[in-house]
Amino acid sequence: MGSATAEQWFRCLTPATATPRLRLLCFPHAGGSAGYFRPWGKAVPAGVEVLAVRYPGREDRFREPLVGSITGLADPIAEACATLTGAPLAFFGHSMGAMVAYETARRLAGHPALRAVFLSSRPAPGHETKRGLANATDRELIADLTELGGTDAEFHKHPELLELILPILRNDYSVVDGYQPEPGAAPLELPVVGYLGDAEQYVDEAGVAAWAERTNGPFALRSFTGGHFYLADHTEELLSDLLGRLEIR
């Protein structure tokens, strides 16, 4: 413990503020990276600091080995979060990132800065359907990415891009399928909000609503029009809802 730092694990997407009103830490999806949340840094009001998690093996950490488990991500991220002081902290995790955000929040039980956890497009543990995509062919992975809309549909025309994306995606799908929550894990003591798109193909409202079982705090659920990557089309509306729940205007 004690070796992970905020500089190593988080990218700040807003101008640095000495005393932010809120730090919003964003956890990317499978195959995703910190850069996915770059538009959020331009959409938040003054005084809100947007941080995005820098998963190893991608972007400017591409030389580092990929991490093979949710625990392997949540442990160092929780260490790095413990160094964030002086401002309230909230988590937003999308898809695989929701699982990492949840496990990181569990490790920060009692941390005075952490105020709420926002979990997007991911069913609660025990309510998901394992899709087995870690063993899919390249063609199947490309088709799935294109269908979900999370990556530019033209990416498959660039072999050098595929060489980078597909190993990351296989790793992350293996991480998702291999996730097993700790038996008897104590519920969070935090407000939790579940988000999803109303046209999701592999995530349903009941599965996201089941996150209520994982907290003793208040739970709320909201859907937006769109599929798995609804947030790309609803950045301002989603952030308004999220920040409003934290009484940040």
Catalytic option among 95, 120, 121, 174:
95
Q: Provide φ and ψ at 53, rounded to 5°.
A: -70, 135
Burial class (CB in 10 A: 0-12, 13-18, 19+), 234: middle
234 included as an active-site residue: no
| Contacts (Cβ under 8 Å, ≥6 apart) of 48 | 14, 20, 21, 22, 24, 243, 248
**Residues 227, 148 contacting (CB under 8 angstroms):** yes
- Closest to 36 in 3D by CA, of 181, 168, 124, 219: 168
**Residues 124, 213 contacting (CB under 8 angstroms):** yes
29 included as an active-site residue: no
- 191, β-bridge pairs: none
Active-site positions read: 95, 228
